[in-house]
Copies of this chain bind each other. A is one copy, B any other.
Amino acid sequence: MTYAIGVDIGGTKVQFAIINRQGSIVKRHLVPTEADKGPEQLLEKVEAGIDRMIAAIGQSEHIEGIGIGSAGQIRYSDGSVWYAGETLPGWSGTPIKERIAERFPYPVTVDNDVNVIAIAEKRYGAAQQMEHFVCLALGTGIGGAVMAAGQLERGVFGGAGELGHVSVDMNGPACDCGNQGCIEQYASGTGIARIGREVIQQAAAPIAWEPNAKAIIAAWLQGDAAATQVMELVIQALGTAIAGYIHSFNPEGILIGGSVSQAGERFFEALDQEVTARTSPVMRAACRIVPALLGPDAGVIGAAAQVWHHPSWK
């Protein structure tokens, strides 16, 4: 059998997996990132995790390569970190690919964490029939990836697809990126919590939920009026952003994953309507809005799948 090793480096945890060509995980491992301990300890953790995966694969089996997905903007040409920000302090500039390739006798591929999710969904998930799609990960922040004609959009250094930093209100709340009203300020977990706190502050009656996305979504699904107020704004904002992506990319599909998308069917129905109202009919007719299929494993599966699909994996 032939296997690939995948590594998904996030702000709170690092996931390792061995996958087969069918995209099934045959072995996995998880460690905390401990991002505050700096890049050298993180690289050592990644190396130790890969060692563990290699040891778990029988010596008679074939390892095709190592694929890594990392938070931050990855310079695709050399697999180094262009910019990682506060999620992974000190990670900017780290030559991930060079370092890992030095240590292991296998081909190494490195890409952005949301780009590899798009690879996983294209290969094994909701986008198997799509050549043109947008992938949104609604988690703590909002990550994006864009596939056009079966290829990931990278832009000049690999920063394309930062779709959380598209504004839907030029006078809206300030975002870390410098802009105002970025969709990340509304439809991420952090954004939903922010709107929740505002609703609580302005409420005349006591509010039955804590201002976090999970609680707000649960209350919304049970018909709570104040939570509905929050979620209507979230859906309005996200519908506006998605209408913009559809006009920009003319995709066949918008895939939505991440914790917020677990709000489920009612969330997707409301979003569908909002997008339809805000998009020119010919563009809208060509595009479906669908849940990502692979869930929390998408990152590590896609990281590994790069090995078989680099640089053109149609």
Binding site for B on A (CB under 8 A): 73, 82-83, 131-132, 144, 146, 148-149, 153-171, 176-181, 236-237, 240, 243-245, 247-252, 276-283, 286-287
Contact = CB atoms under 8 A, between A and B. Distances in A.
6 contacts: A132-B156, A154-B250, A170-B240, A176-B280, A178-B276, A178-B279
Contact of A177 (B132, B178, B247, B251): B247
Nearest to A240: B170
A289 to B, nearest CB: 14
Contacts of A157: 250, 286
A163 B246 CA distance: 10
- What is the oligomeric copy number? 2
A228 B49 CA distance: 59
A198 to B, nearest CB: 16
Nearest to A278: B179
Given A160-B249, A178-B279, A181-B240, 7 more contacts: A155-B251, A159-B282, A163-B248, A164-B247, A165-B243, A165-B247, A180-B240
Contact of A167 (B146, B160, B244): B244
Contacts of A287: 156
Contacts of A156: 131-132, 250-252, 286-287
A8 B103 CA distance: 57
B148 A280 contact: no
Nearest to A284: B178
Contact of A73 (B276, B277, B282): B282
Given A171-B169, A252-B156, A279-B177, A162 B247 contact: yes
Contact of A161 (B169, B177, B248, B280): B248
Contacts of A236: 170
B243 A162 contact: no
B170 A237 contact: yes
Q: Which of A132, A153, A156, A287 has the most CB of B within 10 A?
A: A156
Nearest to A176: B280
B170 A168 contact: yes
A240 B179 contact: yes
A159 B283 contact: yes
Contacts of A286: 156-157, 159
Contact of A282 (B83, B167, B279): B83
Nearest to A144: B248
B169 A166 contact: no
B250 A155 contact: yes
B243 A179 contact: yes
A148 B155 contact: yes
A17 B156 CA distance: 34
Contacts of A169: 168-171
Contacts of A144: 248
Nearest to A148: B153
Contacts of A160: 148, 248-250
A-B interface, 9 closest residue pairs, ranked by CB to CB distance from nearest: A155-B250, A159-B250, A166-B244, A165-B247, A170-B240, A162-B247, A179-B278, A160-B250, A177-B280
